[in-house]
A and B are shown apart, each in its own frame.
Chain A
Amino acid sequence: MLLEVDGLETFYGASQALFGVELAVAEGEVVALMGRNGMGKTTTIRSILNLTPPRAGRVRFAGQEIAGRRPHRVARMGIGLVPEGRRCFPNLTVDENLAAAARPGRWTLEAVRTLFPRLAERRGQSANTLSGGEQQMLAIGRALMTNPRLLVLDEATEGLAPVIRQDIWASIRTLKQEGLSILIVDKTLSELLRLADRCTILEKGSTVWTGAPGALDAALQDRHLGV
């Protein structure tokens, strides 16, 4: 397993957010982390990267424990984060956003521009002048430039126009075909089920179901994901 999360318990101050999350991503696999709002998806991602260090449980990445490592060390082990809300650096240009944290590998400025031609057109513009979709492309490109072994996409299509969403989904499918391991959180169930190799559902901060997307029937969807 590339990523193994076991019995994760995380607190924000005194209030507990995760009560034992179980999650695994194999090499080359796309895993969808699902659940209603506030069930702990983003917290799980933050805990994996030690941005909000867990109080109990363990996270192993490529066979190594993550506990005790600072977030930049965890990222350098090979986790590329595309955070919720995109969080591009607004005062940097597109190219600077891509280059600031880049590490050598298959993903270069050229490769990212091939995946997202829009970013080549906008190369000299500062990130705060981009549209939401372009910022999302930039956030994905920025994470790819660190040449991760695991790409973590948190709500990568949220708040985008349908046409742009299709572009983003297409690019994620391209990344999957390339064999990149992906952990993805999204609300568009139809796309997610087409893309994922496996799904893990969180409810109230713990894992309640894991299985193939085909096994996620209407009853399960209604029980764990319906609103």
Chain B
Amino acid sequence: MSLALFIEQLLNGLQFGVMLFLMAAGLTLIFGVMGLINLAHGSLFMVGAFACASVAAATGSFWLGLAASLAAAAAAGAVIEILVIRRLYDRDHLDQVLATFALILIFSEGTRWVFGSFPLYLDIPALLSGAVHLPGGAQYPVYRLAVIGVGILVAVGLYLLIGRTRLGMRIRAGESDREMIGALGVDIRTLYTLVFALGAALAGLAGAMVGALQSVQVGMGEPVLILAFVVIVIGGIGSIKGALVGSILVGVTDTLGRFLLPAAFGLVMEPSAAAGVGAALASMLIYVVMALILAVRPQGLFSAHA
């Protein structure tokens, strides 16, 4: 195993983690601030990917597609918040799960109805299509590095938004006492719509960026959604910092596990058996990590409610 391969896999893990972060940040905000479990967050990821792919195909510009993905996901988020989610805040989690699961079905079938069952493809923009040389002689796509960069920028932006602005103060205040912040003259309902739309836009952004790496198809959001839930449980519900650390941890663990475990078992087993055992363990690895972390810190690494 060469150093170059290891660095490449590490970067892949980082890029995967950053993409998870964009999903998990919205999910953890919505769960932490409003106490709402939103299963439809994966659908917003899909909406972003489809908006980007179709607009990019129509206009020939990835960048217009990216803008469209943000707008479409934010708009879809705001609409479902006003029509459906708003009625769920005071209900228990089971009702929320049921209603947002229904939204998944509606979004999936609606998308299939409009775009058909065949996947769409999204090309990497020319500006980001090259590769850079890594130490050790390998090459790494610029696009994936750009994804990492965007994730870091979003993380910093969110940190400043939540920690330093009045909007962030109100969001955090609403998290601890929703009635009180309302009684002081803050329109918490509109604030929630805004937070929901922001979370949706981040999911859409993740979908658009992933769309250029994979195919864009119905149901693409749900596997990511499950991982994003793992991330926020590990990181601590409601914590942006936890979402970032959890995402990177899950992304890197998953990617390196798939790469290193078969090789590690290869040292003590026959190659074919090692590949089988290694792959099986690798797909369990993040859940093992989650179990270990929750055994030590049941509230997650950086719980906002600790």
Chain A residues in contact with chain B, CB under 8 A?
49, 51, 70-72, 75-76, 80-81, 83, 87, 89-92, 96-97, 99-101, 103, 142-143, 146
What are 6 A-B interface contacts by the 8 Å CB criterion? A70-B189, A81-B184, A91-B304, A96-B172, A100-B170, A101-B184
Residues on A with C-beta less than 8 A from B175 are 91
With an 8 A cutoff between CB atoms, is B188 at the interface?
yes
With an 8 A cutoff between CB atoms, is B176 at the interface?
yes
Known: A99-B166, A100-B166. A146 touches B173 (CB 8 A): no
Residues on A with C-beta less than 8 A from B137 are none
Interface string of B262-306 (1 = CB under 8 A from A): 000000000000000000000000000000000000000000100
How many angstroms between the C-alpha atoms of A83 and B180 in the bound complex? 8
User: By DSSP majority rule, is chain B's interface helix, strand, loop, or mixed?
Assistant: helix
Residues on B with C-beta less than 8 A from A90 are 176
With an 8 A cutoff between CB atoms, is B186 at the interface?
yes
**How many CB-defined contacts (below 8 Å) exist between A and B?**
68
**Interface contact B172-A92, CB-CB below 8 Å:** yes
Q: Which of B140-187 contact A (CB under 8 A)?
A: 166, 169-170, 172-173, 175-177, 179-187
Nearest CB on A from B54, distance (A) = 39
Residues on A with C-beta less than 8 A from B166 are 99-100
Q: Name the one of B170, B172, B189, B304 contacting A101, with C-beta atoms under 8 angstroms.
A: B170
Q: Name the one of B169, B179, B185, B186 contacting A96, with C-beta atoms under 8 angstroms.
A: B169
**Interface contact B173-A92, CB-CB below 8 Å:** yes
Residues on A with C-beta less than 8 A from B170 are 100-101
Task: Give the B interface residue count (CB, 8 A).
Answer: 20
How many angstroms between the C-alpha atoms of A142 and B183 in the bound complex? 11
How many angstroms between the C-alpha atoms of A65 and B184 in the bound complex? 19
Residues on B with C-beta less than 8 A from A89 are 172-173, 176-177, 180-181
Residues on B with C-beta less than 8 A from A80 are 184
Known: A91-B304, A92-B169. A100 touches B184 (CB 8 A): yes
**Interface contact B186-A100, CB-CB below 8 Å:** yes
Nearest CB on B from A53, distance (A) = 13
**Interface contact A87-B177, CB-CB below 8 Å:** yes
Given contacts A51-B179, A83-B180, A87-B177, 8 further A-B contacts (CB under 8 A): A70-B182, A75-B182, A75-B184, A91-B175, A91-B176, A97-B173, A100-B173, A103-B185
**Interface contact B184-A146, CB-CB below 8 Å:** yes
Residues on A with C-beta less than 8 A from B304 are 91
How many angstroms between the C-alpha atoms of A71 and B189 in the bound complex? 11
How many angstroms between the C-alpha atoms of A87 and B166 in the bound complex? 19
Residues on B with C-beta less than 8 A from A76 are 185
**Interface contact A83-B169, CB-CB below 8 Å:** no
The 7 lowest CB-CB distance pairs between A and B, nearest first, are A101-B184, A75-B185, A100-B169, A89-B173, A76-B185, A96-B169, A71-B182
How many angstroms between the C-alpha atoms of A103 and B304 in the bound complex? 27
Which of B170, B181, B182, B185 is most buried by chain A, counting CB atoms within 10 A of its CB? B185
Which of B181, B182, B187, B304 is most buried by chain A, counting CB atoms within 10 A of its CB? B182
How many angstroms between the C-alpha atoms of A3 and B182 in the bound complex? 20
How many angstroms between the C-alpha atoms of A71 and B183 in the bound complex? 6
How many angstroms between the C-alpha atoms of A80 and B184 in the bound complex? 7
How many angstroms between the C-alpha atoms of A51 and B177 in the bound complex? 13
Q: Name the one of A70, A87, A96, A103 contacting B180, with C-beta atoms under 8 angstroms.
A: A87
Q: Which of B233-266 contact A (CB under 8 A)?
A: none
